[in-house]
Structure 1
Amino acid sequence: MKVQSPKFQLAAFTENSDTFPKCKACRYQRCVDYGMNYVFREKKKLLSLQNKRDDEMQDVIGGLLYQDSHRTKVLASCFTIMDPSLSDMTERKELKIYVKTQKEQLLPQDWSFFALYTTVEFFLQLDFMRNLQTADKLTLIRHSASKCSLFAGAMRTYRDKRNRMVTVDGQDIYPDRMREYLGAGSNEFLNRIRSFVVTKLIELNITTEEYVLISVIVFCNPGIFCESDNLPNQKPDNSYARSIISSQQQKYTSILFQYCCHTYQQNGPTRFNDLLSLCPIIQQNFEDLQYLTLVFRVAMKAYEESPENRNKGIKIIKFRKIVEELI
């Protein structure tokens, strides 16, 4: 091989040459032969792939932030006098909501209902939900919506810079009559439910992006489609629904990890693990709420059936259908 020059010729480097090539053109060609351009192209491909993944991450998070903002706005400004069941909501029956007037005051149990209502609506809007059968949607919502509604309430409290949950308009989340039924000794347990998750959010200084991703990760629990003992009307093994929910949980978990690495750089994996530690805390908070609800119903029945109160004509606190179904 010869490299032509207008003035002279230089012998090119060969495989058997014992000398290092002094010709820049030959050294460059040798680098090309050994893959210099290939490495450069691969780096460009990796950079392009990373940019694409970042764009996809931003699109997914952006969509969740938009839906969460809409949910927050509806919860604060609207209400409905309708009493839908979960089946009504999943079958997308027409449900009318209206904008509240400034003078309109809701009771704590009304706020509880509408918080669940807006949470169910939030999750029904997720793209993958359209791929599930109605029965599978109901199973998923019954298992996960209350946890996520509690988490949303804790996040709202954190945003408002409070240390325990209250309703949107600042009332205690538990009616006075509930505390009357349960007795003074229940205050410590009630405070735990009000503050347990909020305290962790304050400790983590969680961002809204992290919150919406954790919400969907908690919601997408594929294990519930195998828990036939807890869900008697559910088939023991719904592999189709489980595969969809599993893939979505993996997707949002991966996006959370990507977000952490992008935002916190070398501390990303640690931040990711810290955020995932919220999941068992949310679960414990929900189990506490379930226990409270059970005790409250027993106490309420005993209170209402006592001769003294029966003669007073005291009416039992009534909850909407989705509250009864979800808690």
Structure 2
Amino acid sequence: MCKYSNLKVYCCNACKMAFFRASRAQKFPKSCLNGENCGNCRFCRYQKCIAVGMKWLDPLPWEHPLQPITPDLPMVISQLKLMDDRRELVFHSYTLMDDSNLDTLVLSTSTNYVAKSEHSHFTRHDWAAISHTTGIDFIKKFDFISLLSTEELIRFIEKAIMPYTLFCTAMRSYSNRREAAEFPGGVDVICEDLEVCYANSPAVLDNLRYPLVAKLRELKITNDEFLLMSAVTICNSVAAKLSDESRELISRYQNRYTSHLLKYCQMTYQAGGQSRFFDLLSIWYTIDKANKDFVKAMIQFSLSEPRPPPKKIFDDLLEGMMK
């Protein structure tokens, strides 16, 4: 344990000395030295130390340790856009080679995708599976993911993936000028078994199809706003059962993206920036309600119609919903 950290951060002597030298350096890089996905240069290493909570307790009066350097807004949006473009490309153009469970998808270094043929026919379950899988790959690209233990990583993604997937599906439907959430080609997001189960209660399923898309249409959300709100939505440590240190870590990232969203609104909407900021944050409550409604519908369905889900990942997610 590093005795210099007031958050009781565990670190080796090499990291302790790297942090010490960076904090006392008179000349220090202000950006990554090696480009995208580095993580090994002096700048990136120091940022990781800051992210996990390392802080000197007793700096000398004439010493001024470096403050964490937050990437500028255009860089943040650009990084999120690259990640999201890849997610959408894989979602539309590839299928899954294996029927993998959630743990395998979360812990694997790469997912086994195979290009779709022109004659491929995707069912509702196929679209849902590729949507969740590409969503997991997207979440795994956030910097703090590498700092979570295996157990906490699984728990975190188990809770984060459904709200994020609902948001992505709604955004895609809104962009395609659809009234309800749907997959490409007009494929319904509600599986056939769920439709049969709630045949006499169509309002239950309509609450899953319409409100979130309607909210995005009401606000006329832009793609940049979607990207920043996606990051804010994902960096939610409340739902998962995590350690205090991990909650603190993820909360710092959520605060960072929330600050970027506020800055974006102020720059884009000038005097109306703060109002726009709060309007966008209200999307999170709509996502949360849609997620809770979906979880409730799935749990009731599983209790009334106990049967194995068509994909392993759905079985794991359903089990996670019941925890």
Higher helix share: 1
Asked if 1 retains the 8 angstrom alpha-carbon contact of 2:265 and 2:274, the reply is yes
Partner of 1:292: 297
Give 1:316-327 correspondences, 5 Å limit.
318-327=309-318
TM-score scaled by structure 2?
Answer: 0.73
Give 1:82-93 correspondences, 5 Å limit.
82-93=98-109
Structure 1 residue 192, shift from structure 2 partner:
1.5
Greater gyration radius: 1
- Residue by residue, what CA displacement relative to the aligned partner does 1:138-189 show, whole Å, maximum 9, x if unpaired? 1211111101100100000001000101112321122334322332x22222
Give 1:183-222 correspondences, 5 Å limit.
183=199, 185-222=200-237
In structure 1, which of residues 122, 147, 154 is the aligned counterpart of residue 170 of structure 2? 154
Asked if 1 retains the 8 angstrom alpha-carbon contact of 2:308 and 2:315, the reply is no
Structure 1 residue 317, shift from structure 2 partner:
6.5
- Please give the alpha-carbon distance, in whole angstroms, between the structure 1 residues aligned to 2:246 and 2:276: 30
Q: Which runs of 4+ in 1 moved over 4 A?
A: none
In structure 1, which of residues 256, 264, 270 is the aligned counterpart of residue 269 of structure 2? 264
Partner of 2:80: 64
- Please give the alpha-carbon distance, in whole angstroms, between the structure 2 residues aligned to 1:155 and 1:68: 12
- Please give the alpha-carbon distance, in whole angstroms, between the structure 1 residues aligned to 2:184 and 2:89: 11
- Please give the alpha-carbon distance, in whole angstroms, between the structure 2 residues aligned to 1:216 and 1:127: 12
Structure 1 residue 100, shift from structure 2 partner:
0.7
- Please give the alpha-carbon distance, in whole angstroms, between the structure 2 residues aligned to 1:216 and 1:189: 28
Give 1:1-327 correspondences, 5 Å limit.
56-183=72-199, 185-224=200-239, 231=241, 238-301=243-306, 318-327=309-318
- Residue by residue, what CA displacement relative to the aligned partner does 1:251-307 show, whole Å, maximum 9, x if unpaired? 000000000001111110000000001111100000110111122223323xxxxxx
Across the aligned residues of Structure 1 and Structure 2, the Cα RMSD in angstroms comes to: 1.9
- Please give the alpha-carbon distance, in whole angstroms, between the structure 1 residues aligned to 2:107 and 2:157: 13
Structure 1 residue 220, shift from structure 2 partner:
1.0
Asked if 2 retains the 8 angstrom alpha-carbon contact of 1:112 and 1:323, the reply is no
- Please give the alpha-carbon distance, in whole angstroms, between the structure 2 residues aligned to 1:239 and 1:116: 27
Aligned positions, number: 250
Question: What is the identity, as a one-letter code, of the residue corresponding to 1:254?
Answer: S
